[in-house]
């Protein structure tokens, strides 16, 4: 809606775009509920309102039938006389996007129209992935836009449960459209003044929610949780051994890192990429629910010191990828303080629970962490990508990463250059990830995020209670889920009477992949599966989609049973 309204304001299209939005809402049976929004686009106000005060031109562009087969990119702005074809082209794109949004929330629409890679590479009904030397017409470009969405996965569909990042938030979508239109970079206040201030204020608010006094500290938005976790390892090393920045790893003793055997693989990637070596990442044992055993951490720290190693860094997971486990942060923090180790909390998946008064206790002790990863694009439903690394001590990000590039970070600019954030990042160019998140927070308020998170946890409890004693289902571990992760095996009827043993395990190992493959071929729903340790493949159901309801959970159960009945 924001993209459409801005387009209308910029080109005097208020009435026509209001009609387009009206039609879109009618298709969603939401016209009465949203009439006040439509009115902002369709009514002629007696005095200037927020949307019209800067728009004095009469509306002269209309969504007309345009022959795009003879139009090319060269005919669009900044070409002379390119304004009208540009608007007509963008209105067609808006039609494609709003139609996609409407169908995404329609449960009769498939989650995906699956094709094998070779089919897409060979071309599908005029949709060809090959690049050509000569320009294609705008008609073909519009077909490509439509078909790119057609053959993709509708991750916002109410029955898409495959990943931790799901859903399609309309406010967030509008924010991403605006961000792309602005097409700026986050490295200096000079070229992104509003976005830079939004980022600073939002990061401070997140640090307050973590529990750091007055939101003090530092932080930055990164290209995902894996990079945020890498930041934490880099900063820990810089804090304890700053000379490594200039002299390399030879300036440090043999450093070791610790993380759960259930932690995200990005910690292992960071140990490899930053020169520690994966052999110096020590995995910690967990209990049957996937939570780190603190006594095992201390024993392994003592053993590492005896071997001449220096324990540097401990990662505590707040919401593991598979089990949804929350490590006992307070007990781990005690050990970190005792042995002078950096404590990082990977809350990429579970950090959103800090917004919930009912569930934030699962992260008790997070305020004692030196750094925290928090991905709003997961549990909070912000469109990808949106990940923050939060650091308790101010100045470490800058000290660790600054290179003082003179062409960007001049000290004698006419404004306060402490607002230039680029030298804190390991990147140079940095995408604007903040606006969609900030806009959603403004639209929903903290209370809106809390309601969404509580509802997702309630749905996971509903699923758990439906299947825990249901014939054909076996829970991977006993007890109510810690997060929205619900892990279970489905046993087809012909496996239920089999004696326990290798044959049954081998056959059960194949069940989840076969059911998943049939789900994708049918396009009805998607849910993930994986093995874990000595456990054969099981389903991992996760719920973060605000569109999901109990009826969608019921559908998933019925679909698993329908597809798996004869296996």
Contact between 244 and 238 (Cβ < 8 Å): yes
Mark whether 304 and 413 lie in a shared domain: yes
Assigned domain for 16 exists = no
Q: Do the domain assignments include residue 74?
A: no
Is 390 a domain residue?
A: yes
Give the model's pLDDT for residue 105: 98
Is the same domain home to 384 and 425?
yes
Distance CA 224, CA 206 (A): 16
No. of H helices and E strands in the chain?
A: 19, 12
241 and 342: one domain?
A: yes
pLDDT at 213: 97
> What sections of 105-164 are H helices per DSSP?
117-122, 138-150
> What size, in residues, is the chain?
567
Name the H helices within 183-308. Answer: 193-210, 225-240, 244-247, 266-273, 294-306
| Residue 493 sits in the same domain as residue 344 | no
pTM of the model as a whole: 0.89
- Give the CB-side neighbour count of residue 456, counting CA atoms within 13 A: 34
Same domain, 474 and 550: yes
Same domain as 295, residue 253: yes
452 in the same domain as 424:
no
Determine the Cα–Cα distance for residues 179 and 8; give it in Å rounded to an integer: 17
Per DSSP, the three-state class of 72 is: coil
d(CA 128, CA 140): 10
Pairing type for strands 342-347 and 310-317 reads parallel
Distances (CA, A) of 179 to 185, 208, 298, 407, 517: 10, 26, 46, 24, 36
Looking at the structure, do residues 426 and 446 belong to the same domain, yes or no? Answer: no
Phi, psi of 318 (to 5 degrees): -110, 85
Domain final residue, candidates 431, 454, 469: 431
Give residue 256's domain range: 185-431
420 shares its domain with 446: no
**Number of domains comprising the chain:** 2
Give the residue from 397, 431, 465 where a domain finishes: 431
The answer to whether residue 228 is domain-embedded is: yes
How many other CB atoms are there within 10 angstroms of residue 479's CB atom? 10
244 and 386 inside one domain: yes
Query: In the prediction, which pLDDT does 65 show?
Result: 85
Q: What does the alpha-carbon distance between residue 226 and residue 267 come to, in Å, rounded to a whole number?
A: 8
479 and 527 assigned to the same domain? yes
**Residue 371 belongs to some domain of the structure:** yes
Task: Return the H-helix or E-strand segment holding 517.
Answer: helix 511-522
Domain boundary among 367, 396, 431: 431
Instruction: List the pLDDT tens digit at each of the 567 positions of the chain.
Output: 444 444 444 444 444 444 444 444 444 444 344 444 334 444 444 455 555 445 444 345 566 789 999 999 999 999 999 999 999 999 999 999 999 999 999 999 999 999 999 999 999 888 999 999 999 999 999 999 999 999 999 999 999 999 999 999 999 999 999 999 999 999 999 999 999 999 999 999 999 999 999 999 999 999 999 999 999 999 999 999 999 999 999 999 999 999 999 999 999 999 999 999 999 999 999 999 999 999 999 999 999 999 999 999 999 999 999 999 999 999 999 999 999 999 999 999 999 999 999 999 999 999 999 999 999 999 999 999 999 999 999 999 999 999 987 777 788 888 998 898 988 999 999 999 999 999 999 999 999 999 999 999 999 999 999 999 999 999 999 899 999 999 999 999 999 999 999 999 999 999 999 999 999 999 999 999 999 999 999 999 999 999 999 999 999 999 999 999 999
* Alpha carbon separation from 546 to 157, 166, 169, 248, 457 (Å, rounded): 10, 8, 8, 46, 11
Residue 546: give its domain's CATH number.
3.90.1150.170
The DSSP secondary-structure symbol of 191 reads T
The answer to whether residue 26 sits within a structural domain is: no
Q: What is the pLDDT of residue 255?
A: 99
Query: 65: helix, coil or strand?
Result: coil
Same domain for 281 and 215: yes
Confirm whether 277 is domain-assigned: yes
In this structure, what CATH number is given to the domain that contains residue 237?
Answer: 3.40.640.10
Give me the pLDDT at residue 345, please: 99
289 falls within a domain:
yes
């Amino acid at each position: 809606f924001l993209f459409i309204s801005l387009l209308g304001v910029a080109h005097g299209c208020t009435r026509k775009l209001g009609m387009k939005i009206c039609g879109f809402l009618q298709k969603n049976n939401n016209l009465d509920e949203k009439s006040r929004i439509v009115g902002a686009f369709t009514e002629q106000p007696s005095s200037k309102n927020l949307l019209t005060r800067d728009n004095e031109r009469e509306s002269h562009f209309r969504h007309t039938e345009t022959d795009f087969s003879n139009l090319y990119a060269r005919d669009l702005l900044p070409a002379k006389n390119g304004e009208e074809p540009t608007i007509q082209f963008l209105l067609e794109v808006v039609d494609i996007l709003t139609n996609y949004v409407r169908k995404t929330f329609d449960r009769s629409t498939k989650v995906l129209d699956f094709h094998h890679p070779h089919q897409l590479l060979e071309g599908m009904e005029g949709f060809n992935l090959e690049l050509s030397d000569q320009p294609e017409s705008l008609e073909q470009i519009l077909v490509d836009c439509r078909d790119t969405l057609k053959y993709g996965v509708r991750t916002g569909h109410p029955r898409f449960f495959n990943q931790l990042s799901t859903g399609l938030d309309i406010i967030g979508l509008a924010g991403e459209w605006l961000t792309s239109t602005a097409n700026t970079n986050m490295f200096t206040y000079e070229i992104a003044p509003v976005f830079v201030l939004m980022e600073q204020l939002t990061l401070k608010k997140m640090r307050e929610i973590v529990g750091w006094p007055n939101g003090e500290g530092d932080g930055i938005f990164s290209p995902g949780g894996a990079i945020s976790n890498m930041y934490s390892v880099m900063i820990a090393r810089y804090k304890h051994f700053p000379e490594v920045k200039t002299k390399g790893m030879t300036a440090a003793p043999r450093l070791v890192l610790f993380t759960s055997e259930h932690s995200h693989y990005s910690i292992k990637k960071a140990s490899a990429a930053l020169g520690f070596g994966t052999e110096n990442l020590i995995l910690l044992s967990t209990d049957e629910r996937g939570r780190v055993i603190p006594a095992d951490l201390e024993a392994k720290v003592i053993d590492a010191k005896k071997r001449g190693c220096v324990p540097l860094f401990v990662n505590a997971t707040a919401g593991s990828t598979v089990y949804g486990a929350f490590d006992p942060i307070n007990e781990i923090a005690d050990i970190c303080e005792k042995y002078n180790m950096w404590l990082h909390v990977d809350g990429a998946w579970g950090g959103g629970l800090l917004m919930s008064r009912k569930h934030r206790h699962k992260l008790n002790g997070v305020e004692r962490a030196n750094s925290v990863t928090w991905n709003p694009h997961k549990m909070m439903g912000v469109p990808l990508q949106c990940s923050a690394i939060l650091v308790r001590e101010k100045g470490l990000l800058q000290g660790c990463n600054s290179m003082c590039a003179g062409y960007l970070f001049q000290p004698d600019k006419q404004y306060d250059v402490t607002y230039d954030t680029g030298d804190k990042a390991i990147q140079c160019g940095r995408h604007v990830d903040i606006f969609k998140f900030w806009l959603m927070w403004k639209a929903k308020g903290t209370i809106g995020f809390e309601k969404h998170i509580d509802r997702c946890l309630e749905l996971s409890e509903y699923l758990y209670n439906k299947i825990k004693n249901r014939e054909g289902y076996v829970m991977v571990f006993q007890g109510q889920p810690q997060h929205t992760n619900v892990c279970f095996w489905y046993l087809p009827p012909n496996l239920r009477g089999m004696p326990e043993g290798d044959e049954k395990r081998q056959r059960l190992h194949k069940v989840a992949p076969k059911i998943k493959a049939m789900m994708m071929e049918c396009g009805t729903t998607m849910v993930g599966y994986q093995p874990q340790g000595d456990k054969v493949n099981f389903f991992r159901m996760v719920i973060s989609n605000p569109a999901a309801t109990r009826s969608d959970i019921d559908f998933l159960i019925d679909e698993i049973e329908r597809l798996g009945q004869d296996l």
